[in-house]
Amino acid sequence: MLANLETIQLHAEGSVLFATIKAPPMNLLGPEMVRDLVSLIQQVEADSAVRVIVFKSADPDYFISHVDITRVAEYRQYATKLAGEPSLGLLFRYLSSSRLISIAQIQGRVRGAGSEFVLACDMRFAARETAIFGQPEQGFGFIPGAGGVQHLARLTGRGRALEIILSAQDYDAELAERYGWINRALPADQLDDFVKSLAHRISKFPAAGQKVLKGRIDAITLASVEDFRRDSESFLAAGATAETQARTKAAFEHGFQTPEGEKDLGRMLGELG
């Protein structure tokens, strides 16, 4: 029996596990959430009764906001346990290449490493009315460091990936679907039933074939460890520059890392300095 974690609530139905992220006030991806993700993945991988894991959010406004930029060294350290090195991107890549089938059921905002987390999931379905997507890193001077560059370039192509990341803008679910960022945008009131039904369906098909299939798809579509590592290092290097630090400081003065201040983060970044 899986116990709830500090930032993730668990609910099992057959061989589907629903993992609901609950880290008030805005589901920041900090050391606690990374620690809990590592613990969750480890436990679940060892438990052959679980086949599919559905990630949801307890917060209607934020699925995962982004990393806690004040605690980068700490949360990276927690990733080491599974990734073998202190890289969030490699932790996410570990999830992608797991035998577990992961589905992100997205409502609210999912930006930065939050977007990179859902990109690492095997599938992404979002509430058409409420989901908002963004890779805001370039608004500060950062490079997306946890796989966003790798996934978006392959899913959306050169022009759209450059637009998404260079603009650091917010995208609604409908446009995210058109660009290939997510599988599909669905009406919010149908999302829960759709994902639940899909998860249960997949959980009943033979596991051995699923494992082989994921390996074959990933041989074509999943970027190498080296590529993830290099993006991770670029993120750190960009964060060490004076310009990035100054813009990050300015963002904090405009409400960065507060639920109200990030409602319209895309706009805020355009108005900084």
Residue 182 in contact with a copy of itself, rule: CB under 8 A: yes
Name 111's bridge partners. 134
Residue 187 in contact with a copy of itself, rule: CB under 8 A: no
Q: Which residues contact 267 (CB under 8 A, 6 or more apart)?
A: 170
Count the residues in the chain.
273
Name 125's bridge partners. 105, 184
The single residue among 53, 100, 161, 251 that binds a copy of itself, judged by CB under 8 A, is 161
What x/- string results for residues 215 through 234 when contact with a copy of itself is judged by CB under 8 A? -xxx-xxxx------xx--x
| Terminal C-alpha separation, the chain | 51
Residue 107 in contact with a copy of itself, rule: CB under 8 A: no
Residue 180 in contact with a copy of itself, rule: CB under 8 A: yes
Note whether 51 and 202 are within 8 A (CB): yes
The single residue among 54, 88, 95, 165 that binds a copy of itself, judged by CB under 8 A, is 165
Q: Which stretch binds a copy of itself (CB under 8 A): 15-23, 177-185, 187-195, 249-257?
A: 177-185
Residue 254 in contact with a copy of itself, rule: CB under 8 A: no
Residue 270 in contact with a copy of itself, rule: CB under 8 A: yes
Q: Scanning residues 30 to 69, which ones bind a copy of itself (CB under 8 A)?
A: none
Q: Which residues contact 81 (CB under 8 A, 6 or more apart)?
A: 38, 42
The single residue among 122, 146, 186, 191 that binds a copy of itself, judged by CB under 8 A, is 122
C-alpha closest to that of 92 among 165, 172, 171, 150: 150
Strands 123-127, 184-186: pairing kind: parallel
Distance, in Å, from the CA atom of 245 to the CA atom of 141, rounded to the nearest integer, reads 8
User: What residues line the site for a copy of itself (CB under 8 A)?
Assistant: 101, 121-124, 137-143, 149-151, 153-155, 157-163, 165-169, 177-178, 180, 182-183, 198, 201-202, 204-206, 208-210, 212-214, 216-218, 220-223, 230-231, 234, 237-238, 241, 243-244, 247, 270, 273
